[in-house]
Structure 1
Amino acid sequence: MKPQLENLVQTPIPTKHGEFILHYYSNTIDDKEHVALVKGDVADKENVPVRIHSECFTGDVLGSRRCDCGEQLDMAMQIIDKAGFGVLIYLRQEGRGIGLLKKLQAYNLQDQGMDTVDANIHLGHLADEREYGIAALMLENLNVKSIELITNNPKKIEELKKLGINVAGRIPVEAVAHEDNVGYLKTKAKKMAHMLFEPKKS
């Protein structure tokens, strides 16, 4: 049976980066509450700026400096606002897919000397367990023809292309490194092939 996705609610959300329309989706894949923030008219459009952002409670909500997630979320909304149209998909796959509990346990391992990749593996997980099938279905539902993906992650580009998404280009979203996350960013660049310049402390 083909996975089903349904756009149940659309409502305007005013933000510091202007007004977006929030689309709430239900699905038969993981039964989680995934959403899309849409600015402007994206239906039948090409080269639409798109950010596919995986939930990070500590970074997005608490402003944790261990990662660059909160900064990337804010920068992506700014990029979309400046373009005048675009989509920010917010996927509920905390901790690169391992969940909040395991992510917090991984933080403790990092404080003992492991990097973000080794900590996940030590806990019995892959370095990155995120999936993008639901994001592809959401873009299909929004009738987006091609995208400019706001990302530093080449794996995300490859996965979306495999899912049939026309990724026409990439928009970098590089936050400034600082004392609390510079090691994390270096690991993402060296072990996960993220397209980052050599991180330098601010």
Structure 2
Amino acid sequence: MNHQSDQYYIDKVLAGEVNAFSELVERYQSLVHTVVLRMVKNKEQAEEVAQDTFVKAYQSLSKYRGDAKFSTWLYTIAYRKSLDAIKAAKRMMASEIIEDISEGEMELVNDALGYLQNKERKQIISDSIMKLPEDEAAIITLYYFEEKSVKEIVEIIGLTADNVKIKLYRSRKKLYSILKYYILPEISAENGRAI
């Protein structure tokens, strides 16, 4: 496993060693693809947008100033490329009908996300996130799966911290609404309660 810093490879690329960029691609390709897929909701289109993200990052590498982490800068490009792809395709998202959720049920959201981490449940989580609107899917992915802070998400998607927090709260509620049919029977069974 290579433990060199991102800046090490950036410096090599800028010094003319273009093959060093492949290390950055390898390091971030899975994460970029995940964020993009959850926004564009189409595997083939996600692959294309992820590739475009890395092309744009390579072409713009000399403009990277290091003010933010390279990953944050790269996710910003991925987010914007995803939005461009969505607009270009003029896709209409069907609004999900979200049930009213009590505050008591909301407390289960954090438990639910932690509870659903094992391998056989990752697909349920991924499918559920795909049902969220693009921007909310990106925020949930960046916050919970890429472990980005609210400040980093603000840099990536260009909203205020308050807007990100509101979207994160609403997205968790929507995600819980989608996931609760998978979660509640299992949580109740684990706690010895019947539904």
Length-normalised TM-score, structure 1: 0.31
Greater fraction of residues in helix: 2
